[in-house]
């Protein structure tokens, strides 16, 4: 007699609850962040051996924070935990249903499913180690998260040369937006490649300060939106609490110590199936100079990366209506510099869909690489 499918989410970044299971299908429910009501991220393993077909239903999908984000969304799955692809998914306004039929024997009898390709802590540590091993990069711990994990800053370039532009890139304030750390992996790999002419030219002009994971606790806990204290870190920048949002507190202090000529805050958007950026047009200190820099940067990225576009994005803020608790707005106002929130999709790029993988780690990494070329295009005009 076949056994019921066993579900396991008790691992780094795992999140799901089992409502009921039988031999071929499982009813699941999303679990909220540990200290807030936000609920969207899921990641789990299904022990299906020796079945070839397994079906799943997330029964409380309509109660998710971004319930309308399920329209046009497809779950990501993996047979080996390395290669992620999309599986047939349906949303009926209440339940998110998906299934996977294995093409052959599963290597470990296990299927992996998640909201987006996970970026595990182990991979994060390996990313930092690669940077620290480079002769022209170093990793600094600038503070600690609520749970006591290190807040790691990767510095690449000559930080002692004041003529070098200070370029900051932060990712994953919202821990479920794993695509943001895949972006960082692509950017950091390029900046560590001394043979790359773009890197050579960039490091002549700029020094990079990179925070690949702004929310380590939320990432490991399997939260979608908040840190261990239940704070949305991208709403803390005007007045971060040292106890409740030490992640922002420590990185913000370092920013003020070092200064900033360009800030990119990398995110993923649950609903919008496009890559886009948002600027600081709502900031009280917004000027024509910043407006021109935003245009130059975004237009160059349109030309360099076919995934990036300017047609679909967030509504522009009215003058003075910018939310200074958000990182990009606060940095733009504080340093009077080019400062952008960069968003990529969870779903796919509707301008160039990939039926097999949708928006994927490879495309996020590629965007990370090409974004550096836009930094180079603008580097001379940043001050
Ligand atoms: Zn976000």
Q: What's residue 132's pLDDT?
A: 97
Per-residue pLDDT of the chain (383 residues; tens, 9 = 90+): 567 899 999 999 999 999 999 888 999 999 999 999 999 999 999 998 777 789 999 999 999 999 999 999 999 999 999 999 999 999 999 999 999 988 888 878 899 999 999 999 999 999 999 999 999 999 999 999 999 999 999 999 999 999 999 999 999 999 999 999 999 999 999 999 999 999 999 999 999 999 999 999 999 999 999 999 999 999 999 999 999 999 999 999 999 999 999 999 999 999 999 999 999 999 999 999 999 999 999 999 999 999 999 999 999 999 999 999 999 999 999 999 999 999 999 999 999 999 999 999 999 999 999 999 999 999 999 99
Q: What CATH number is given for 6-114 in this structure?
A: 2.60.40.3120
pLDDT at 2: 64
Cα–Cα distance list, 339 to 2, 25, 205, 313 (Å): 56, 47, 18, 16
Judge whether 343 counts as a catalytic residue.
yes
Write down the pLDDT at residue 19. Answer: 97
Please, what's the b/e burial string for 222-240 (b: 16 or more CB within 10 A of its CB; e: otherwise)?
Answer: bbbbbbbbbbbbbbbbeeb
Q: Cis check for the bond before 50: say yes or no (omega within 30 of 0).
A: yes
Which of the 8 DSSP states describes residue 233?
A: G
Please pick, among 181, 247, 333, 343, the residue that the annotation labels catalytic: 343
**How far apart are alpha carbons 257 and 248 in whole angstroms?**
14
- At 43 the three-state DSSP class reads strand
Distance set, CA 292 to CA 47, 224, 233, 287 (Å): 54, 34, 28, 9
Q: State the distance from the centre of ligand 1 to the C-alpha of 277, rounded, in angstroms.
A: 12
Q: What residues does 6 pair with on adjacent strands? A: 47
Instruction: Give the Cα separation of 209 and 324 in Å (integer).
Output: 21
Compute CA distances 297 → 209, 222, 260, 278, whole Å.
Answer: 19, 33, 16, 12
Angle between helices 121-132 and 179-191 (to 10 degrees): 20
Longest dimension (CA), the chain: 71
C-alpha of residue 268 to centroid of ligand 1, in Å = 5
Residues 6+ apart with CB under 8 A from 378: 262, 293, 296, 297, 300, 338
Q: Full-prediction pTM beyond 0.75?
A: yes
| Contact between 168 and 209 (Cβ < 8 Å) | yes
Q: Does the domain spanning 121-381 belong to CATH 3.40.50.11440?
A: no
Write down the domain spans for the chain: 6-114, 121-381
* Strand residue runs (E) in the chain: 6-8, 17-21, 25-29, 43-47, 53-58, 76-78, 85-86, 89-91, 96-101, 110-114, 137-144, 150-156, 165-171, 206-211, 262-269, 276-278, 338-345
How many Å lie between the centroid of ligand 1 and the Cα of residue 284? 23
State the CB neighbour count (10 A cutoff) for residue 82. Answer: 9
Strand partners, 285: none
Contacts of 253 (CB under 8 A, 6+ apart): 142, 143
Gap from CA of 191 to ligand 1 centroid (Å): 24
User: Distance, CA 317 to ligand 1 centroid (Å)?
Assistant: 17
pLDDT for residue 282: 98
Q: Of 216, 234, 298, which is closest to residue 262 (Cα–Cα)? A: 298
Phi and psi at residue 34, in whole multiples of 5°?
Answer: -65, -30
Predicted local distance difference test score (pLDDT) of residue 31? 98
């Amino acid at each position: 007699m076949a056994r019921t499918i066993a579900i396991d989410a008790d691992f780094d970044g795992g999140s799901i609850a089992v409502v009921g299971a039988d031999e071929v299908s499982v009813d699941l429910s999303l679990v909220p962040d540990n200290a807030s009501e936000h609920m969207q991220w899921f990641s789990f393993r299904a022990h299906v051996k020796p079945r070839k077909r397994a079906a799943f239903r997330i029964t409380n999908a309509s109660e998710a924070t971004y319930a309308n984000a399920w329209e046009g969304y497809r779950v990501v799955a993996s047979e080996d935990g390395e290669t992620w692809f999309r599986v047939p998914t349906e949303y009926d306004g209440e339940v998110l249903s998906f299934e996977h039929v294995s093409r052959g024997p599963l290597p470990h009898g296990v299927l992996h499913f998640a909201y987006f390709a996970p970026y595990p802590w182990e991979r994060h540590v390996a990313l930092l180690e690669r940077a620290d091993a480079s002769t022209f990069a170093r990793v600094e711990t600038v503070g600690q998260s609520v749970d006591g994990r290190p807040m790691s800053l990767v510095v690449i370039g000559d930080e002692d040369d004041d003529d070098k532009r200070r370029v900051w890139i932060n990712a994953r304030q919202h821990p479920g937006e794993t695509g943001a750390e895949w972006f960082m992996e692509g950017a950091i790999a390029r900046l560590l490649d001394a043979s790359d002419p773009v890197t050579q030219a960039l490091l002549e002009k700029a020094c990079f300060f990179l925070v690949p994971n702004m929310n380590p606790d939320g990432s490991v806990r399997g939260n979608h939106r908040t840190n261990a204290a239940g704070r949305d870190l991208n709403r803390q920048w005007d007045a971060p609490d040292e106890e409740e949002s030490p992640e922002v507190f420590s990185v913000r202090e370092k920013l003020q110590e070092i200064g900033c000529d360009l800030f990119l805050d990398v995110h993923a958007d649950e609903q919008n199936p496009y890559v886009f950026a948002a600027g600081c047009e709502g900031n009280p200190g917004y000027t024509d100079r910043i407006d021109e820099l935003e245009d130059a940067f975004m237009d160059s990225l349109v030309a360099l990366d076919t995934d990036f576009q300017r047609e679909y994005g967030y509504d522009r803020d009215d003058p003075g209506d910018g939310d200074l608790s958000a990182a990009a707005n606060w940095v733009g106002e504080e340093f009077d510099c080019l400062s952008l929130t960069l968003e990529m999709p969870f779903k796919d790029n509707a301008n160039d869909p990939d039926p097999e993988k949708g928006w994927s780690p490879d495309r996020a990494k590629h965007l990370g690489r090409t974004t550096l070329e836009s930094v180079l295009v603008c580097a001379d005009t940043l001050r």
